[in-house]
Structure 1
Amino acid sequence: MASANYSSLENLSENKVFLQTILDLSIKGLMVIDCEGKIIFINKSFEEIHNVAHDEVIGKHVTEIIENTRMHLVAKTGIPEKDVIQHIHGHEYVVSRLPILENGKCLGVIGLIRFEYTDELKNAYKQVEKLQIELQNSKSRSKMNPYTNFTFDDIVAISNSSLQIKQTALRAAASDSTVLLLGETGVGKEVYAHSIHNLSKRNKGPFIRLNCSAIQETLFESELFGYEEGAFTGAKKGGKKGKFELADTGTIFLDEIGDMPLNVQSRLLRVLQESEIDKLGSEALIKVDVRLIAATNENLEELVNQGKFRSDLFYRLNVIPITIPPLRERQLDIPAFIKIMWKRLSVKHGIYHKKISYEALQTLEAYNWPGNVRELNNVLERVMAIVPHDIVTEEHIRTIIQGNQTKKEEYCMTKNCTLNELLYNTEKEAISFALVRSNNNRTLAAKLLGISRALLYKRMHEYNLI
């Protein structure tokens, strides 16, 4: 009897009707179009929502059935559009449009409704927020300080130099001494600062960051030490707490400290020596219990010799100096960085089918990365967003690193190429790139190109980009 039931179920599973039933029951508003925008499949839910019959729509262009659709545009660009709002018959729906890609070519697009109404989505968000609050309340101690984003688990250390630096930072975290993080722009100094705080005995306290290069000289003292009401024209009612007061019992991270003005350096030195601050407009001293982590890409000893940085402050900061090596000196770390970043970018952009070839990985590892980890992340994000193929090749990586978004032959860089051909291909590529950058927002694309919307539409028609 059981064998007979299994046989019946197996036969049913092979039946087209059975598969159609699954699609009808499991997905709302399912539709599939081909690369030309013609509808090749719909389910029962689609028929009910749009009040159409199957035979009426199959073979028709999607724009004939849905007035405000973008399915045909996704078929042209090959770029997915996930969880966007679309108005259908007076109702708001959250929809996704997912291209079917094969070797970089778009074969068609799947369209489906993720949520029937935005109210349903809002209710889902409320449920998630409620669960998050309950989860936070259930934890006696959070693993991650709410002021920070990184722990030592986020620090990639495969090469010997990276392992040594990470070990030094781990030991520094256990103490309460001042840490001076040194290294080129983009090496990850802030990641180290967060990690040290999260492993320190101050991890339950605040982590307050100030970028010294982003503060006007006249605002430094009020930002660092705060002010009382009426201290100066424009002062807020009730005054304002400074970064040191906000960081009490925790850590203050002064990034780009080499850019701090000399007059502020003297006040900072006094705070470090006395552990007390005086707000602008106040005579009272306020005790603060703060650990300092400073960072710079400058050579502070050179700045001291030039008279641009106080020597006594330098010695006060230089208790535990940690120099983070540039990425070109730790090439063994690059594959691990790529793996982590690629996974994160796939989730961010909703693109999971792209893979990096072995040759492309070798190219990434061989590059000297003057912008370090930050540049690597930017290049990978550009690859994720721009390369239309399933497999990212060595040539894709080289052209993007060089700041050139297409291959030479696509620009017709040959001795037989005419000026008109070169201009045609270059302009078409520039418009395509702007449309990708703007997520097909024509107004923004025109702004990026420095032309009017009318001219953009005219060129899009000329180059068959609509």
Structure 2
Amino acid sequence: MLQGIEGRRRDGKDVAADSAQLRELATRSLLAHFADLCEGVVVVDAQARVVWMNDRYPLHLGIDDPSRAIGRPVEEVIPNSQMRQVVETGRPIMLDIMDFGKEAFVVTRLPLRDDHGKVIGGVGFILYDDPRHLAPVVSRYQRLREDLAQAQRRLAEARRTKYTFSSFVGIGERCQAVKQAARRASRALAPVLILGETGTGKELLAHAIHSASPRAHGPFIAVNIAAVPETLLEAEFFGVAPGAYTGADRRGRDGKFKLADGGTLFLDEVGDMSLALQAKLLRTLQEQEVEPVGSNQLIQVDVRVIAATSRDLERMVAEGAFRADLYYRLNVITLVPPPLRERPEDLRVLAEHLLDATCRHQGLPVVGITPAAIERLERHDWPGNVRELSNVLERAVLMTDSEVLDVEDLERVMPAPRKVASPENVPATAAVSLSEAVAEAERRAIHTALRSHGGNKAQAAKTLGISRAALYEKIAALGLDTQPVG
């Protein structure tokens, strides 16, 4: 056993000795090959004096007697040489173009060190005697730079807004009021909270606010909190330090706050966030700094936050499901885009706008829509709001051969119309508009819900399937008496 260990030790020493010899041989061989292949080689000592040149170098320099160059400062022999800089700094100059009279050489310069790492001289090589030999390399480098610049442009475009206020289509009073409030919000830097049902245009408003704000040239980063697993949200928000955990990228990863630095971060479905993450988000909003996962270093960020949710945050705060301090931090400017069923006056212009966009996207001739078809649209509840309307119109367009959508085209893709009032309560001779009938139906539904819950508006809103804020808006718009009912 001992003999085996000793044998291995002896073998190890032999390997080390062989490695040193091979390294020395490789160094000499490399220098010899470079001297043969290159257009010129010069070696200088620690004082940058010429100690050796190969036969080709003097020819390029026009030196008749090479021996006269030995021992002289390199600048006297090669006026534009940078060899002194190499031996003084110990840093190589890997690729350079050196002018000499009317000629130009492609050169590389390397320091020479002794066994202790001390710089004892330097060696310079003329790789090419004509820079045009570098054309393929330079061309490839230029292509790589152009590809990188193009990728960066595409990334920057992807992080810009897609919509402006003109994209929020509507001619009604409520629609115009929301747009005006959003325009005012765009001029400020305070957080914005957008509350509303799904499909009412919350993300569209967030894009529009950013595009009209002083931060329009900065990034717009959107995060759908409901779509990201809870375990990944912290890393998604704050980033990951290099090698923070097994499987983490060695280079680290920037979080959405860092990516949105100087711009806007849109937090969609913020009501789906856990309480633990809410606390970290609150600190980030207050201090404007993030701490990547696995790091002890704080990174300053300058981010404006726009949050949106279809949940009733006030009720969640009351139930302890959402932090009150975070709610007040986000709820500085509040926008409530109305649901589609409350803006029937916008249906015609919305339908025409969506039909035009759908046909262009599908590469089809633009399809119109009849007044009767618009009337059919007005009789629908639109629980999915504008998103549902867009889906219905797209399906209708793809299933018809007509140039104008009519009621029959819509009936194939829509449920039956809802009843807005019972025949018993509406005389046959009464002539009321559709908007009046809808308003009356809403009054009755709200009265019924309030009576059922003893005037408790939070519970009434829950029963009606709307937010508390939306209920207050309806009460004000409809002029309802909300005194407790018994």
| Offset, 1:334 | 1.2
Mapping of 1:147-226 within 5 angstroms?
A: 147-226=160-239
Cα offsets for 1:105-129 (capped at 9, x unmatched): xxxxxxxxxxxxxxxxxxxxxxxxx
Q: Which residue of 1 aligns with 2:286?
A: 273
Alignment of 1:260-409 (within 5 A): 260-352=273-365, 354-402=367-415
Give the distance between the partners of 1:355 and 1:374, measured in 2 at CA: 19
SS of residue paired to 1:263: helix
Aligned to 2:256: 243
> Tell me, what secondary structure is at the counterpart of 2:413?
helix
Question: Aligned pairs, how many?
Answer: 267
Q: Deviations along 1:114-145, whole A, 9 cap, x unmatched?
A: xxxxxxxxxxxxxxxx9xx9xx9xxxxx9x99
**1:365 Cα offset (Å):** 2.7
Q: Which residue of 2 aligns with 1:433?
A: none
Matched to 2:249, the amino acid is K
Q: Judge which range, 212-221 or 352-361, deviates more.
A: 352-361
Match of 1:256 in 2: 269
TM-score, structure 2 as length reference: 0.53
Find the aligned partners of 2:233 and 2:367 in 1 and give their Cα distance.
Answer: 46
Quote the offset at 1:267 in angstroms.
0.3
Measure, in 2, the Cα distance between the counterparts of 1:193 and 1:155.
11
> Are the counterparts in 1 of residues 238 and 257 from structure 2 also a CA contact under 8 Å?
yes
Q: Contact 2:164/2:208 (CA < 8 Å) preserved in 1?
A: yes
Q: Say if 1:211 and 1:338 are closer, same or farther in 2 by CA, change over 3 A.
A: same
| Deviation at residue 146 of structure 1 after TM alignment | 5.4
The answer as to 2:252 corresponding to 1:231 is no
**Structural mapping, 1:38-117, within 5 Å:** none
Asked whether the equivalents of residues 239 and 293 of structure 2 are also in contact (C-alpha less than 8 Å), the reply is yes
Contact 1:207–1:250 under 8 Å retained in 2: yes
SS in 2 for 1:181: strand
Structure 2 equivalent of residue 113 of structure 1: none
Cα deviation code 1:339-382 (max 9, x no counterpart):
11111111122221643222112211332211100000000100
State whether residues 187 and 327 of structure 1, in contact with CA within 8 Å, keep that contact through their aligned partners in structure 2: yes
Tell which structure's C-alpha radius of gyration is larger: 2
Paired with 2:228 and 2:158, the residues of 1 have a C-alpha distance of 26
Q: CA deviation at 1:398?
A: 2.2
Kept in 2: contact 1:145–1:198 (CA 8 A): no
Question: CA separation in 1, counterparts of 2:158 and 2:320?
Answer: 38
Instruction: Note the C-alpha offset of 1:160.
Output: 0.7
Structure 2: distance between partners of 1:177 and 1:322:
13
**Secondary structure of the corresponding residue to residue 209 of structure 1:** strand
Q: Is the 8 A contact 1:209 1:253 kept in 2?
A: yes
Counterparts of 2:387 and 2:225, CA distance in 1: 20
RMSD, aligned α-carbons: 2.4
Alignment partner of 1:227: what SS? coil
User: Counterparts of 2:334 and 2:395 in 1: how far apart (Å)?
Assistant: 34
Q: Which has the higher contact order (CA 8 A, sep 6+)?
A: 1
SS at match of 1:208: strand
Q: Secondary structure at the match of 1:237?
A: coil
Q: Report the Cα distance in structure 2 between the residues aligned to 1:350 and 1:156, rounded to whole angstroms.
A: 22
Which whole-Å CA distance do the structure 1 matches of 2:175 and 2:214 have between them?
24
Inter-CA distance 229–340: structure 2 relative to 1 (3 Å threshold): same
* Aligned mates of 1:318, 1:176 — CA distance in 2: 13
Query: Match of 1:298, SS?
Result: coil
Map Cα deviations across residues 40-85 of structure 1 (whole Å, 9 max, x no partner): xxxxxxxxxxxxxxxxxxxxxxxxxxxxxxxxxxxxxxxxxxxxxx
* Kept after mapping to 2: 8 A contact 1:145/1:203: no
Task: List gaps (5 residues or longer) in structure 1.
Answer: 1-129, 137-141, 404-466
8 Å Cα contact 1:185/1:297 also seen in 2: yes
Give runs of ≥4 in structure 1 deviating > 4 Å: none
Structure 2 distance, partners of 1:247, 1:151, is 19
The 1-side partners of 2:235 and 2:317 are apart by 25
- SS of alignment partner, residue 412 of structure 2: helix
